[in-house]
Amino acid sequence: MLTGEIEKPWKSKNNSQLRLAYWITYAAAAFGIVAGAMRCFFGWRNVPRIGNLCLVMEDEFDTLNLDIWSRDVDLGGFGNGEFEMATESSTNSFVKDGKLYILPTLTSDVIGQDAIFNGYTYNLTGCTNEKWQACGVVSNSTTGVVVNPVQSARLTTRTSHNIQFGKVEVKAKIPRGDWIWPAIWMLPVDNAYGIWPMSGEIDLMEARGNDPSYPKQGRNVVRGSLNWGPMTQFNSGWKTYGWRAMRRGSFDQDFHTYSMEWDENFIRIYVDNRLHYMLALTIKESFWDRGDYPQVVNNGSDYIVLSDPWVNGTIAAPFDKPFYLILNVAVGGTSGWFPDGYGGKPWLDGSLTAMSDFAKKQSDWYSTWPQGSQIDDRALIVESVRMWEKC
C-alpha cells in the first residue's frame, strides 16, 4: 500500500529553458521547410524550357509505316567497325502486337557457319550505301576477312521527319545479350558544317546488352551524349555525356521513356522524367570555345592550322540545324564502345581480324543471347515515338 503524497509533475511550473528549446526546434523546422520550398520553387523556375511545341511525328506502331521509317541497308560498319550487317529483312525489323522490334540474328543461320569464314561471296540485298565495299564481302580464311556474323537493322526518319529545336520521346525496352549495342540517336539532315563530327550527333540513349556485372556499364546503365568536334580525330563527346544507372534491376526488364529537349539555349537528355537526366547542358559559350582546341594539329601527313567550323553558325552550332531520328541495334565494333580487356571481350579494337576473332567465339557470346520463346528479349522493342518542333 502506497503512502505519502503522489508526485504530479503536470501541476509544476513550466521550465522556461525547456520552453525555449521547444520554440527553437519548431522555428528551425519551419525555417527548413520554408527554405526547402523556396529552393524547389526557384530551382523549378530556373529550369530552362522550350516553350510552345508543335507535334511533327507520332508513331505507335500499328504497322511498320515505311512512309515514316526507311531502312539503312549496309554491311560496312557505319564508321564504328560494327560486326553486324543492317538488312532490309522483316526478320530483323518488324512490328508485332503494336510494337517495333529490331532483332539481331545469326548470319550463319542463313548461309551456314563455314561460309562465314571462307570462300563465300555475300551481296547485301537492297544495299543503300553508294560504296560497293559496304554492299558485299567475300570471306577468306587466309586474310581473315569474314561475312558479318550478325544481321540486324537500322531505321531512320531521314527522308520523312526532322526537327530543328524541339523534343523527342521514345518509349522502349533495351535488349539483353553480350556485345549488343542498342541506340536511339540523331544525325543532321545535311552536313552543313562538314563530315562527322563537325555537324554533330545527339545520342538520346546508348546501352550495352552485357550483364550488370560487366565492369564498363552493362544493361543497368543507359547513356546520353553529344558528339562534336572540328575534325574526325577531335571528337569532344567526352566533354558532353552522362548516364543513368539503375540500382536494382536493369533497363531490359521494362519499358522506359528516353527523351531529349533542345533549343538555342540548352540540351537536356533524360530517362522517364526530367529529374532522371543524363545530360543537362546550358549553352552559354560556343562549342569551339568549349572544346579548347589547339591552334595547330598534325593531320597525319602535315601540320595544319585548326579553324572554327561553326564560325558562321549560332552559339548552339553545330546543334542549330535540322536533325533526324535513328533507331538501331549494333553488335560489337572497334570504336571503343566496348573497351579492350574487360568482360572477356573476344577481340581487340586495333586488330586487323577483329570481326573474324569475334565470329570465332560465336558459341560463347551467343549463349548469352535470349533464344527460343525468349528471343524477343534480345531485341530493341519500341512502343512509341514522338517528335515535336519548337513553334
Give the model confidence (pLDDT) of 263-297 as tens digits: 999 999 999 999 999 999 999 999 999 999 999 98
Mean pLDDT of 206-217: 98
What whole-number distance in Å separates Cα of residue 375 and Cα of residue 70?
A: 24
Q: Exposure string (b/e) for 97-129, b if CB count within 10 Å is 16 or more? A: eebbbbbbbbbbeeeeeebbbeebebebeebeb
Q: What is the pTM (predicted TM-score) of this model?
A: 0.89
Alpha helices (H) along 131-204: none
Q: Tens digits of per-residue pLDDT, 181-210?
A: 999 999 999 999 999 999 999 999 999 999
Nearest alpha carbon to residue 380 among 268, 251, 215, 204: 251
Which residues neighbour 125 within 8 Å (Cβ) at sequence distance 6 or greater?
73, 87, 88
Which three three-digit cell numbers place residue 145? 576477312
Which residues neighbour 234 within 8 Å (Cβ) at sequence distance 6 or greater?
197, 291, 293, 297, 306
Classified as helix, coil or strand, 346 is coil
152 neighbors 333 (Cβ within 8 angstroms): no
Q: What is the CA radius of gyration of the chain?
A: 27
Residue 302's pLDDT is 84
Which has more confidence, 288 or 3?
288
Q: Tens digits of per-residue pLDDT, 32-59?
A: 887 776 665 555 555 677 889 999 999 9
Which residues neighbour 356 within 8 Å (Cβ) at sequence distance 6 or greater?
117, 144, 145, 146
Class of the domain covering 52-390: mainly beta
326 neighbors 206 (Cβ within 8 angstroms): no
What whole-number distance in Å separates Cα of residue 208 and Cα of residue 177?
A: 8
Residue 51's pLDDT is 83
Q: What percent of the chain is predicted at pLDDT more than 90?
A: 83
Q: Tens digits of per-residue pLDDT, 222-274?
A: 999 999 999 988 999 999 999 999 999 999 999 999 999 999 999 999 999 99
Domain spans in the chain, listed from the N-terminal domain onward: 52-390
Q: Tens digits of per-residue pLDDT, 113-140?
A: 999 999 999 999 999 999 999 999 999 9
Element (H, E) at 168: strand 166-173
